Amino acid sequence: MITMPDKAKQFLLVILKLLVVSMALGYIYYQLQNKKIDWNAVSSSISFKAILILILFSITNWVLEIFKWQNLVSYFKEITFFESSKQSLGSLTASIFTPNRIGEYGAKILFYSKEQAKKILFLNFISNSSQMATTCFFGILGIILLSIKKTETMLWVHFKIKTVYFIFFILFILIVFLIIKYKKVSIYGFSIEKLIRKIKQFPSNIMMTNFQLSTMRYLVFSHQFYYLLVIFNCEIPYSTALSLIFTLYFIASLLPSIHFMDVAIKGGVAVYLFSKFDINEWKIVMITSIMWFFNLVIPVVIGSYFVLRFKPQQR
């Protein structure tokens, strides 16, 4: 077997880190140029106080995500908040170009030894699954709340509800069938049968804390979206706005995408949903763009620093 000198490995690692950071920052620059955000409209609508509140929302959002990862890793190892921050934000930067953040699985493994790789895969699966389950719960709740409104504006929802229920029924039957028939099939190195067994054996206190943090995080960025609706003077009742926001995140989460296309998908779904309530399209586009900037761009920039400072574990 041909071995690579240590200096060559270090050089390749530096090149790889620079490539990841350059692509991430290049993508952000491209998106900012391509979206042609009307910064004059933003500055006239958002005060300095509002910006601070939006930053506070985003900090809370990511602090909860960092705590969530720290809590999950405590399953086998205690890590500090700072270490959890490096792993969470660094993996976000590294996974920005991968479909449905799949690259995050591989990125987080790099912070641990080879023997711990399967544990990290499993914990990341738990983390993402809990956030997805939270999104589905609130999404279905949002759809139900929209469907029971008795206004003419909501008539369009009823057909959609029946369609969603039918799709869920089919998906449920399909998932049960696949689990029974293909329980030996591997997912991230685990058979479905083994994965279910490991989830059942997972400490209940860590799992409960994980779901609590996922729920808190979901409510934080949902209300950040609502706060922007208020800032841009979108006249819509609180309950209706939250129902639409819940539905928006639910629909967007079901659509497969590359992470950096997330803003386009959420923007398109948001425009479609809120246009039913006569909310100006440009306002929704601005809101989704600002959400993208505060919750993805800023964390990716911070994560870029951690990527550049990254030192791989001895494997």
302 located within any domain:
yes
157 located within any domain:
yes
Q: Evaluate the CA torsion angle 32, 304, 88, 101 in order and state its sign.
A: positive
What does the block give as tokens for 258?
């590359």
- Domain enclosing residue 177, as ranges: 43-308
- Put simply, whether the predicted model's pTM sits higher than 0.85 gets the answer no
Total domain count for the chain? 1
18 located within any domain:
no
Q: What is the pLDDT of residues 104-137, one digit of tens each?
A: 877 888 888 888 888 898 999 899 989 999 998 9
On average, the pLDDT of the chain sits at 77
**Is-contact 36 284, C-beta < 8 A?**
no
286 located within any domain:
yes
29 located within any domain:
no
DSSP string, 237-275: -HHHHHHHHHHHHHHHHHS--BGGGHHHHHHHHHHHHHH
**Is-contact 191 183, C-beta < 8 A?**
yes
- CA 59 vs. chain centroid, Å, equals 15
What angle separates helix 298-308 from helix 6-35, to the nearest 10 degrees? Answer: 170
Q: What is the pLDDT of residues 181-211, one digit of tens each?
A: 555 555 555 566 677 788 888 899 999 999 9
Alpha carbons 285 and 229: distance in angstroms, whole number: 11
- CA 81 vs. chain centroid, Å, equals 20
Alpha carbons 158 and 175: distance in angstroms, whole number: 26
Alpha carbons 221 and 46: distance in angstroms, whole number: 18
Which single residue is written with the structure tokens 């006569």?
278
Residue 275 has pLDDT above 90, yes or no: no
67 located within any domain:
yes
Q: What is the pLDDT of residue 1?
A: 41
Tell me the pLDDT band of 102, cut-offs 50, 70 and 90: confident
Q: Assign residue 171 a region (left: φ > 0; alpha: ψ between -120 and 50; beta: otherwise).
A: alpha
226 located within any domain:
yes
Q: What is the pLDDT of residues 41-100, one digit of tens each?
A: 666 667 889 999 999 999 999 999 999 999 999 999 999 999 999 999 988 888 777 766
**Is-contact 250 137, C-beta < 8 A?**
no
136 located within any domain:
yes
Cα–Cα nearest to 51, from 208, 209, 188, 224: 224
Residue 269 has pLDDT above 90, yes or no: no
**Is-contact 313 77, C-beta < 8 A?**
no
Percent of the chain with pLDDT over 70: 65
Q: Which residues pair with 186 in a beta bridge?
A: 191
